[in-house]
Amino acid sequence: VQDRSERMRRLLSSRNPLYEGSADHMVDTTDLTIDQVVERIVAVLGKEMGEDQ
């Protein structure tokens, strides 16, 4: 399990610049609940579509 966890960390670390470079939006999810993350995503997408959330 430790090896898989470390491998996943390395993969994410190496891929993160690609993800950031191709993202239309970024949402900081640090210390947020799933519901809070969803609310932020909906708000970002709502603004993009011209809706006030």
Q: What is the pLDDT of residues 6-38, one digit of tens each?
A: 999 999 999 999 999 999 999 999 999 999 999
Whether 53 maps to a domain, the answer reads no
Q: What is the largest CA-CA distance in the chain?
A: 45
SS3 46: helix
The whole domain housing 29 covers: 2-48
The reply to whether 40 falls in a domain is yes
Domain count, the chain: 1
Query: Is 52's pLDDT higher than 70?
Result: no
pTM above 0.75?
no
Tell me, rounded to whole angstroms, the distance of Cα 46 from its chain centroid: 17
Cα three-residue angle 36-31-10, rounded to 5 degrees: 115
* Lookup result for tokens 């997408």: 45
Q: Would residue 22 count as lying in a domain? A: yes
pLDDT for 35 equals: 98
Report the candidate in 15, 16, 11, 35 with the shortest Cα–Cα distance to residue 26: 16
- The rounded distance, in Å, linking the Cα atoms of 14 and 10 is 6
